[in-house]
Structure 1
Amino acid sequence: MIIYGLKNCDTCRKAAKALPDATLQDVREAPVPGDTLAAALAQFGAALVNTRSTTWRNMPEGERAHAPLDLIGRHPALMKRPLIDAGGTYYLGWGKDVQAALTRA
């Protein structure tokens, strides 16, 4: 299991602590593989881009119009976090539904 996020993100750290067998991959140091991002975009659509982030708010309006994969490629912190790859099944965020799905014994 791989958790794609930021090592200094509290939510990503909570997910990593709750999922001790998972690896936390910092997207600033090693980007999410293209096929994984494409599959996540197909599953989550526009929700993959965190429009509440400081990066998004500081971005010029014209740049916001680019395709989500291009935006995340240029600004990795713009991806909603964490994106969790559980053997090809993807989860976005660390809400109660994701926690329940991944931490049940």
Structure 2
Amino acid sequence: MILYGLSTCPVCQRARKALEAAGKEITFRDIRAEPLSETELAGLIAEFGDRLVDRKSNDYRALNEWLKNSEAEAQISAKPKVMARPVIRDQETLYLGWDEVVQAALIPV
């Protein structure tokens, strides 16, 4: 299982701790320290589309108008912090966020 996020993101930290506590083997990938490849990013965009960009974040609001009007791939490549997180890859299945639905799917009760 791979968790894509930021080491400083509280939601990513909660997800990682919960998954590890449930006995899941996690590989954490900080997308700022180790950016996504074009292929990886294209795969995530194909799965989640525009939902992959967190348009409510301060980082998104700080983007210049040209980037705001660009594709999600350009926005995330320019500023990885605008990616909605965490993104969790469990074998071939991808999950976005850490809400009750994702938690129920990854940590059976």
Structures share a fold, TM > 0.5?
yes
Report the CA distance between 1:34 and its aligned residue: 2.7
Aligned partners of 1:55 and 1:78 also within 8 Å: yes
Q: Partners in 2 of 1:81 and 1:9 — Cα distance? A: 8
> Any idea what the Cα deviations from partners look like across 1:55-92, whole Å, max 9, x if unmatched?
11111222211111111111111100001111121100
- CA apart distance, 1:43: 1.5
| Structure 2 residue runs without a partner (length 5+) | none
Aligned to 2:3: 3
Q: Give the distance between the partners of 1:59 and 1:32, measured in 2 at CA.
A: 19
State the shift of 1:36 in Å. 2.5
Question: Aligned equivalents of 2:37 and 2:4: distance in 1?
Answer: 10
Distance 1:60 1:34 in 2: 22
Question: Is 1:97 matched up with 2:101?
Answer: yes
**In the TM superposition, what is the alpha-carbon distance from 1:32 to its structure 2 partner?**
2.1
Give the distance between the partners of 2:66 and 2:81, measured in 1 at CA.
19
How many pairs were matched up? 105
Structure-2 residue corresponding to 1:16? 16
Q: Following superposition, which runs of at least 4 residues in structure 1 exceed 3 angstroms of deviation?
A: none
Shift of 1:23: 1.6
The TM-score normalised by the length of structure 1 is 0.92
State the AA in 2 paired with 1:38. Answer: A
- TM-score if structure 2 supplies the norm length? 0.89
The whole-number CA distance in structure 2 between the counterparts of 1:87 and 1:35 is 17
Letter in 1 for 2:77: G
Q: CA RMSD in A?
A: 1.2
Match of 1:44 among 41, 44, 48: 48
For 1:87, the aligned partner's letter is Q
Q: Identity across aligned pairs (percent)?
A: 39
Partner amino acid, structure 2, of 1:64:
K
Instruction: Give me the whole-angstrom Cα distance separating, in 2, the residues matched to 1:33 and 1:49.
Output: 16
